[in-house]
Every structure is written in C-alpha cells, then in structure tokens.
Amino acid sequence: MKKKTTVKRWLSYGTPITLGAALLVGSGFSASASTSGYEIYKQALKANSTLDSVTANVQVSVTDNGAQEMAVDADVKLDKANKEVSGTLQLASAGNEAQTLQAFRQNEEMYVGNPSKALYYHIISSDDEGEDDAWEAHAKGPHPQAEKVIDALVGDVKDQVKAVQQEDGSTKLELDLSGNEIPAIVRTVAPIVIQHDADEKGDSFGPPWAERGEQHEDSPLKELFQPLDKPDMPELTNNVRLASIELDATVDAAGHLQNQTVEVTVTGEDETGEAHELTITMEASFSAFNNTTPDQLSLDEIDVQQVDIDKHDKGFDRR
C-alpha cells in the first residue's frame, strides 16, 4: 500500500501537469434549452473526465493586494487511452527567477526535466500496479459523493448561473457573486480550506521529498525541483472571508468545456494585523478533443539519469 501511495503522489505532485490534464478533459454532452446554467456547467465538467485525449492550456495567477505573487502557465497534451502525456509548466513567483519544467510519459516510461539545464530524469518505480490504479482513478472522473456535497453547498446559487445560447450552438455561462450573495456555509468553509491547504504544503511547491523529511535532501531530483519552491505567501489568521467568486465559461455545441475563467478573492489579516486581499485567477482552454497526440522526448539528443522514486534517497544510476 505504501508504494501505491508513492506512485500516485508522484503523478499528482512530481508531475503536476499530469494531474491538471487528467482533471481538465471532456466528452460530448447535449443540453436542452431548459437545462439550467449550473447543470450545463456541471455536466460539462463530468463529461470532461471521459475524453480519450485533449490539449489544454491552464494559467493560474495569485495576487496579494494587487501585486502578483505567483504565475503558472501549463501546456498539456494528454492521451488517456494510451496512457501518454506531454507538458510544459512555467512557474514565476515574486523575487524568484522564472523556471520551466517538462514532463513526458511515453512507451510506458515517465521522464521529467528542465529544458534550460538539459537536465532530465527517467522515473522508475517497482510499483507498476499503483500507477495503473492512478490512471484508472482519473478515468472514472469525480466521485459521485463529491457531487452531492457540492450541490448542497451551492444551494440557491444554482439559479444564478446565467446561460446564454450562442448562434454557433455554444453556451456562455456566467456567475458573479460577492459578499452576502455567497452562501454562508461556503463563505465559512472556503477560507478554512484555503488556509489548511497552504499550511499542508509547507515550504514546498510539491516535490516528492517535501513530505519525506530531511533525510532525503540528497535526492538527485532536488536539483530539478528546487526552483519550484512555494512563494512566500501571507498567512491569513484574522477576519478571513471569501469576498467574491466569478466564473465565465464556454461549453461548445457538443457539450465540451471549451474555456473557462475562475476568479476567487479572499480577504483577511495576517498575524501583524496587516490587511490582505488575495485573488486567485485560473484560465483554462481546451482543444483537439479526442484528436491529441502528446509530444515525444527525443532520448538520443539528451543526457538522461535514472531515478527510482521508491528509493531515490539512496542515489541514482546513470542511464
């Protein structure tokens, strides 16, 4: 069981591109004119977990009192049918040089690297079954119980998602809530979840060794992931509240989620009493539905080092 957790953690943390791609894919869905905007959006998201392949671009930014603290830009090509993925993740944070990370899964092998350093690692694991479980979990889509919880939290907000039919058959969706328009339970729970997530991440953006203690500081992967350290974000401790939620999305005529922009603003004070307004913005666009072929890493042109993620603290072998 421990090894299965390790592989799944690698898929979700060691290569964050894989996780993002797995969550952001779609399939056909036709909504009747009487279907609410909320249902159209929810069904498009549910359908997004069943496409065989898709190309996605995801951009995430975080600002603190108007100043940008972090920006992430990920380009992903995912082929779930063949269990292949390629992607490039660019991360910039205040006070740090922008960094680039690439990930490839091809011919049943995983590679990650930093193209600017010509540094790539061939990731191996003795637990192939755990990796298969992770792919199968992504393919199943969201858990049905999670859908029920979200429906309960959303409450009457369902009726506030505006849906406008376009001439090309697509549907524009909009939601703009602030202050008391946001359900009380969401205003209460969301800041707790956001702060808990920040606390859990600790000082790291997500390298696998971050959760394994200082004894793994000599991991060869550290050189690759070290630039991805988590930005120094303020810790909100007082008067924390969810101030606003905005959503703009387009569902195409076939029911695919074509693009969306989500903006969430949280306000509060840090332990010194300084006020902060944190705004998290996520923009995503999707294309080449069921017609995406991931890029391939040319192994003949680069130097690749091999790392066993189940034993990476013990060193590595040259490929």
Q: What is the pLDDT of residues 217-235, one digit of tens each?
A: 556 666 666 555 556 678 8
Instruction: Please check whether residue 21 is in contact with residue 12, taking contact to mean a CB–CB distance below 8 angstroms.
Output: no
User: pLDDT (tens digit, 9 = 90+) per residue, 149-169?
Assistant: 777 767 777 788 999 999 999
pLDDT given at position 250? 96
CA 201 to chain centre: 14
Interior/surface letters 18-45, b for 16+ CB within 10 angstroms, e for the rest: bbbbbbbbbbebebeeeeebbebbbbbb
pTM (2 d.p.): 0.77
Number of CB atoms found within 10 A of residue 1's CB: 7
pLDDT band at 140 (very low <50, low <70, confident <90, very high): low
Percent of the chain with pLDDT over 70: 65
Mean pLDDT value across residues 1-5: 40
Tell me the pLDDT of the chain averaged across its residues. 75
Which DSSP helix (H) or strand (E) runs through 136? helix 128-140
Q: What are phi and psi of 6, to 5 degrees?
A: -60, -45
- pLDDT surpassing 50 at residue 38: yes
229: DSSP letter: P
